[in-house]
Structure 1
Amino acid sequence: MLTEARLVAVVVTSAMAGAAPPGVDDDAFLAAMAEDTYELVAGLDSVTPVLVTSMPGMEEIVWPGTPVVEIPDLSGAALVRAAFAALPYGEQAVLLSGDAPDLPALLIGKLFRALGRARLAVCPAADGGAVAIAAHLPFPDWAEVGFDDHDPVGALRASAPAPRTVATGPGWHRLRVPGDIARLDPGLEGWDGTRALLSG
């Protein structure tokens, strides 16, 4: 499959600033997480990175030539549907929440692999929700799911034409509240911006 046919879109909204620890500016922490998440995507082979955001100024975190798509500041299923709809092109896409700075790149590859047998695939988040949602485009009308839904896989399978339409990959964690910072893996490469803010 051509690179242009596979997109990985990092989604950044104002609601993702809630993990900043005391003494760290919310917007600065959000920008650091989003940049680290984008950097892991930009380093992948055979995909095109995209930034989908409702936050002003986020174009500064991406490499030149990366598509930056602005959407309203939404949440829930409305955010996911708007983000998929805003993608400029592609046959398959992964929406990746911008608050997963230490996500292993391998998990993105597993989602694309899962699309070989399913219409949608989800990387579940610790404590509920989704880290990433992958789909063949266009995003299907029956799929109603948000990054913070308690059981996104169960909800999608309940509404899908058949349960095997929705696959699930290995889970990971997101930084949604300050306590989630303890989940970051210091042994993993990357997440340099987030690491620098926390150590500073």
Structure 2
Amino acid sequence: MAAVLVTSGTGSGPPPGVDGRRFAAAVAEDTYEVVAGLALCDPAVVVWADDGPPTALAEQVSHLTWPGTPVLAVHGPGPVRRALDALAGPDAGQAVLVAADAPDLPPLLIGKLFRALSSAEVAVCPAEDGALVALAARLPAPGWLGTLTLDDPAALAALTSARPRRGALATVPGWHRLRSPADVHRLDPGLEGWEATRALLGGGVRQE
């Protein structure tokens, strides 16, 4: 399984002049297209709210997916563990969670996460601030994940400390997320994909 993890914080840092709800929808749609295009992997969306059942948010996200894609709603502490538990099933031995604000994430990095699970229990793609862009785990998810969130800047450090052995956690090359207005300048107009975000931002994206 490959799932996009949408939270109430998704798209909370739109650039000036861009509507926050439209920005959240665009980045989530593009991130979903990344996971939906993976071969030999079933896509899903997990919607999490920390203050109660995320019914309204789940309904909004369901309009961005292809028919038949599961949209699972979870709530309570520990969104990563709850999302992985929701994805676990007889046909799913591994799952990757991708933060919904990574619209230009290269599929190659998701492939590296899955390959790392051949020896590790958990594999992560870190962001520059110590938070996580994506996390892959064998299912059922190991208990040492605790109440992890992808947004926590101490997430990578917490996992490193909690791992039962050195080889239980693998790290692949990092990527970026769109969490602040300046982050849109990390998007490379030369890369394919992220059409919805590209269309919304128009000329507001520049190459560094």
TM normalised by structure 2 equals 0.87
Query: What is the match of residue 15 of structure 1?
Result: 9
182, 185, 188: which one aligns with 1:185: 188
Alignment gaps of 5+ in structure 1: 1-6
CA contact (8 A) 2:88 2:139 kept: no
Q: CA deviation at 1:57?
A: 1.4
Query: What is the match of residue 174 of structure 2?
Result: 171
Query: What is the match of residue 122 of structure 1?
Result: 124
Q: CA deviation at 1:88?
A: 5.2
- After superposition, residues 105-144 of structure 1 pair within 5 angstroms as 105-144=107-146
CA contact (8 A) 1:157 1:166 kept: yes
- After superposition, residues 141-152 of structure 1 pair within 5 angstroms as 141-144=143-146, 145-152=148-155
> Matches of 2:152 and 2:26 in 1, distance apart?
25
> Matches of 1:157 and 1:88 in 2, distance apart?
24
Aligned amino acid, residue 124 of structure 2: V
CA contact (8 A) 2:88 2:140 kept: no
Give the fraction of aligned pairs with identical amino acids, expressed as a percent.
54
Query: What is the match of residue 3 of structure 1?
Result: none
Query: What is the match of residue 197 of structure 1?
Result: 200
**2:163 is equivalent to residue 160 of structure 1:** yes
Q: Deviations over 1:76-108 (max 9, x none)?
A: x61112211221521100010000000011000
| 4+ aligned runs moved over 6 Å, structure 1 | none
CA contact (8 A) 1:153 1:168 kept: no
Q: Deviations over 1:110-169 (max 9, x none)?
A: 000000110000000122200001000111111132212224333212112101100000
SS of 2:63's partner is: helix
Q: CA deviation at 1:29?
A: 0.6
> Matches of 1:160 and 1:8 in 2, distance apart?
23
How large is the Cα RMSD of the aligned pairs?
1.4
> Matches of 2:151 and 2:66 in 1, distance apart?
28
> Matches of 1:148 and 1:126 in 2, distance apart?
12
Query: What is the match of residue 37 of structure 2?
Result: 43
Aligned amino acid, residue 153 of structure 2: H
> Matches of 1:170 and 1:20 in 2, distance apart?
25
The aligned length equals 191
TM normalised by structure 1 equals 0.91
**2:84 is equivalent to residue 84 of structure 1:** yes
Q: Deviations over 1:19-56 (max 9, x none)?
A: 21122111111010000000011111010000111413
CA contact (8 A) 1:100 1:173 kept: yes
Alignment gaps of 5+ in structure 2: 48-53, 204-208
SS of 2:43's partner is: strand
91, 97, 100: which one aligns with 1:98: 100
> Matches of 1:85 and 1:48 in 2, distance apart?
16
Aligned amino acid, residue 188 of structure 1: L
Q: CA deviation at 1:17?
A: 2.1
Query: What is the match of residue 26 of structure 1?
Result: 20
CA contact (8 A) 2:130 2:156 kept: no
